[in-house]
Structure 1
Amino acid sequence: MSAAGRWLLPLAVLLELIAICMSSTQLSAISGVLFIFCFLCVGHSLQTYARTLLLVSLAVVAWFSIRGELGTDRLIKASADAAFYAAFLASLGMMQCLVRRFEVLRRIHDVLLGGRAIWLYPKYALVSCSIASVLSFGMMSLLCGSLSETLRERGISGESRLQWLRSVLISTLRGFALVPLVAPTSVAVAILTRELPQLSWSMLLPYGLAASVVLVVVGWILEQHRFRQVSSERVVLEQWPSGSLQLLGLISIVFAVMAVIVALTDFKVSVAAMMAVPSVTVLYMTWRERSVGVVLKESMTQVSSMNNEMAIFAASAILGVSISSVIPADALSGLATSAGGMWVLAVVGMLSLPLLSAIGVIPITVLSVQAGLLPQLIAEGMDPLLISVALVIGFSLAMMLSPFGPAVMLLSRFGQVPRRVVAFRWNGVFVLIVVPLLLALLALEIIVLPAIL
């Protein structure tokens, strides 16, 4: 990336954080324009998918604007949303700066593979979810990259290597897919709570936990036998690696700062995460390095390294606002008048995410469009909570099934396994089992529970 890009992207992130603190939509829109300018300047270095999605989103905006179907207010919203989602990813990604400073993160697989083999799948899934709640996509780089190093150092190859990859990496991916269901730092939660101010993460959490239990139990049943072979080849640690307690304390401070921000302001948890993560990370790095220049350089490098993911998030936001703006206001009229109709809409919303992701439309793009339609449904009388639950479940499934999604692409690259093998062969049976169970759970939550309560 050019020197200008390395400076401008962090500047755009900082500008968006300031805009959020000031509640300034205009400043946020300016930040969005700066983001787009940066992405266009470094377009040659973006991956094909990110570059194509960005150009398509800008072409759609230009077409609708020329036809007079997008007013100034919607253009400002599109730019502001682009800035918010790009800055959201960049802010959480700052935690990646801590990885190289803690031995426990470099030896994470030796730590996780300890204990009885029967508990390894849920341990990996839940720990992956916990780490991803803070590191976001950095968790996939951490666990996949450290596994590759572990296998190479120990000379594990052939069928044994494939068992390691399938058992460890698939549980890691499924743990990452739990983040939209339970974590306040999920981009899915950020999108939905931004579009629906009456919605909060705490309202979604009980339903997300129920869906998470279904996903973990089914995966546990299917995968636990593979971990028996893997566990026989592990290295048992006599004690926890150095820095473990310090890392735990640092993460606890991040969540404590988030809690204070939420308690003292009107910010949602996702916004609090955007403030807390980079602040605590930069302060810790400054304390360790004793050099503001070193910290500034590393921070800019980290933000710039995420330009592909930020471009995808920003383009998806622009596309979502544009498409939802031109759909007639009465297009969904009358569909939310009964519990049965609500369940049908919830099912369509949930299933469209993994189905479209399977053919290359990543879930954030689909969710951005769906979220833009939610105010129409809410005006028709639909419960915002239950339809949002269906969408976060669909988003979770899509993260596992999208061969073009960042998580599957990272797993494929580190494991040297084709993306479609990861998305469809390794996850196919799992998804076929959990989808009927999740549809039954939605029916219980939308039809049965309201009748009882």
Structure 2
Amino acid sequence: MLGTLLFLVLDLQAGAWLARIALLLYLLVQWPRQTRMAKGILLVVIAMAGVVVWRETHPIPILLQALDRLCFFATFVSSLGLLRVSAMRSRLVREAGTTLIRQKPALRYPTLSLGTALFGVIINIGVLNLFGAMVLRSNTLKAAGGHDDIQAARERRMMLSILRGFALAPLVSPLGITMAVILANMPSLTWATLAPVALPTAGLFFLLGWWLDWQLRPGHLASRVPHTAPPSLTPLWQFTLLALAITLGVFAVSIAAELRLPVAVLVACPLSAILWMALQRQRLGGGTGLPRALTLLGRHSRLIFGANRGEIAVLGGSACLGALITPLIDPQMLHEMLLATHLQGAAMAVAAMLLVVALAQIGLNPIVSVTLLASLLGDGVGADPRLLAVGLMCAWSLSMISSPFTASMLVLSQLISRSPYRIAWRWNGVFFLLVVPMLALWIGVLGQWL
């Protein structure tokens, strides 16, 4: 992490070499504990590196660029991981989450969905474990008045609210992995240029989910639901202010240091995480808590950074793969293939969206497909690059709610002991069939507007 920051912020080549060597050692040490998917991606990266050495007359610059891309995303994942450690130890996070869970049925979808999106900015996929566990704790048979059917209906509605809220993150979070992938592979774009397109898209996604939740509500059970007083919203507002402060801190670092937003995340998020830990560990009667926070990081660093092994391998490996494949592609041939499809602008963006979603249904993580498509097509789709970017961001969101193989679906499946196929294809099937054509039409409208 330090080597990557020295290279990206101060342009020190020694930092780049420190990062490259350290990361290769990390991947070697963590190899026995990696999942099959992570190992598979890393083996494909090694094979593709061999192809580059065989095909290219000057392979070293390409290999180093690919390794630097891997270092960047490893540092990105680790930076957000530190923030997640701070959040999971925070009493405010637990209180705010409980406030969301205990809302009235009519307000439960918007509060849970938007709350998950907000928490997801800070703790990423950890929000599914946090909220999912809270749903299971609060949705007891006693709370449902002793009715099994009410308990089951609540579980389904709340879990879908959480899942769809988490799927908003690729469209709304400036600190997310999706935004980092898009901006890294499409350098002409910034968060400021994407936000006016991405945020209304997220709004449509959210409103359709809310409307469908209301339409499919089990009205015959409403009279049997016990009424409880709604909790205070104070913890939720406090957490909202905290999340806003961290986000503004990233933008402040980006402006002050003249850094691109993904690089500013690498600087601001670890500092925010350490400061948050320090505030949690202030001594009674005085003290900053900073020594305790640093001691915690030192003692548990092996577990904290080891827990990121899968994300680093999958995300970093996918980014590395994109950097290795791109030089092997003939730009003229790619251009001719695109012309042969007669797809340009909005049509190309919709086709890319559908391709990513289709590949996700057979187990190809959107991290891989979005990275490759963004790196191959880049800014050259014959129209405003924001169209391709928003199409890929929509694809990432759609994959999260529809593929049984994504991490988000597997986390919820394990929490509630339900098949991921049941959650993705049966519980969420109607929403998926409605949201795909809606987003395709919306991208077409954007194509006329941009």
More moved, 29-38 vs 340-349? 29-38
What does the per-residue CA deviation read over 1:169-209, in whole Å, with 9 as the maximum and x for residues that have no partner? 21111111111112111212111212222210121112112
1:323 to 317, 322, 325: 325
Match of 2:360 among 357, 362, 368: 357
Instruction: State the secondary structure of the residue aligned to 1:42.
Output: helix
Q: What CA distance in whole angstroms lies between the structure 2 residues aligned with 1:142 and 1:116?
A: 20
Distance of aligned partners of 1:329 and 1:401 in 2 relative to their CA distance in 1, 3 Å threshold = same
Deviation at 1:43, TM superposition (A): 1.6
SS at match of 1:88: helix
Change (3 A) 1:26 1:173: farther
* Structure 2 residue aligned with 1:4: none
Question: Matched residues in 1 for 2:206 and 2:236: separation?
Answer: 26
In the TM superposition, residue 115 of structure 1 has moved relative to its aligned partner by: 4.7
- 1:251 alignment counterpart: 243
Task: Evaluate the alpha carbon distance shift between residue 127 and residue 248 of structure 1 in structure 2; reply closer, same or farther with a 3 A threshold.
Answer: closer
Unaligned runs of 5+ in 2: 282-288
Query: Does the Cα contact within 8 Å between 1:29 and 1:80 map onto a contact in 2?
Result: no
Q: Indicate if the aligned counterparts of 2:4 and 2:75 stay in contact, CA closer than 8 A.
A: yes
Farther-moved stretch of structure 1 (20-29 vs 196-205): 20-29
Letter in 1 for 2:252: V
1:381–1:307 CA distance, 2 compared to 1 (3 A): same
Residue pair 2:48, 2:324 contacting (<8 A) in 1 also: yes
Given the superposition, is the C-alpha separation of residues 40 and 423 from structure 1 closer, same or farther in structure 2, using an over 3 Å criterion? Answer: farther
Shift of the alpha carbon at 1:279?
0.5
**How many Å apart are 1:67 and its aligned residue?**
3.7
1:229-244 matches, cutoff 5 A? 232=225, 236=229, 238-239=231-232
Q: Given that residues 78 and 305 in structure 2 are in contact (C-alpha distance below 8 angstroms), is that contact kept between their aligned partners in structure 1?
A: yes
Deviations 1:380-400 (A, max 9, x none): 743222221211111211122
Q: Give the corresponding residue for 1:297.
A: 299
Please, which moves more after superposition, 55-64 or 88-97? 55-64
Whether 2:162 is the aligned partner of 1:162: answer no
Q: Does residue 1:314 correspond to 2:302, yes or no?
A: no
**Which of 147, 159, 172 is 2:162 aligned to?**
172
Matches within 5 A, 1:339-350: 341-350=344-353
CA contact (8 A) 1:254 1:277 kept: yes
Maintained 8 Å contact 1:70/1:326: no
Mapped partners of 1:280, 1:227: distance in 2: 43
Alpha-carbon distance, 1:114 to partner: 4.5
* Partner SS, residue 382 of structure 1: coil
Match of 2:84 in 1: 96
TM-score of the superposed pair, with normalisation by structure 2: 0.87
User: Corresponding residue for 1:7?
Assistant: none
Aligned to 1:351, the other structure's residue is in SS state helix
1:279-298 to structure 2, matched below 5 A, reads 279-289=271-281, 290=289, 291=292, 292-298=294-300
Q: How does 1:192-203 map to 2 (within 5 A)?
A: 192-203=182-193
Report the TM-score, using the length of structure 1 for normalisation. Answer: 0.86
Taking the aligned partners of 1:337 and 1:373, their CA distance within structure 2 comes to: 16
Identify the residue that residue 418 of structure 2 maps to in structure 1.
417
Distance in structure 1 (CA, Å) of the matches to 2:98 and 2:227: 7
Larger displacement relative to structure 2 (324-333 or 20-29): 20-29
2:207 alignment partner, SS class? helix
SS at match of 2:174: coil
Tell me the residue number matched to 1:10: none
Q: Which moved more, 1:84-93 or 1:220-229?
A: 220-229
Deviations 1:98-129 (A, max 9, x none): 33443343244541145543232122111111
Stretch of structure 1 that moved more, 247-256 or 401-410: 247-256
The aligned length equals 434
Over residues 41-81 of structure 1, what are the superposed CA-to-partner deviations in whole Å (9 max), with x where a residue is unaligned?
A: 22221222222222222222223323438722221121111
Moved more, 192-201 or 23-32: 23-32
Identity rate, percent: 24
1:440 aligns with 2:441: yes
Any stretches of 5+ residues in structure 1 without a counterpart?
A: 1-12
Question: Within 5 Å, which residues of 2 pair with 1:23-62?
Answer: 23-24=11-12, 27-28=15-16, 30-62=18-50
Determine the structure 1 residue equivalent to 2:269: 277
SS at match of 1:404: coil
**Which moved further from structure 2: 164-173 or 27-36?**
27-36
Measured after TM superposition, the shift of residue 223 of structure 1 is: 1.6
Q: What are the equivalent positions in structure 2 for 1:52-131 lying under 5 Å apart?
A: 52-68=40-56, 71-108=59-96, 110-131=98-119
For 2:194, give the aligned amino acid.
L
Partner of 2:449: 449
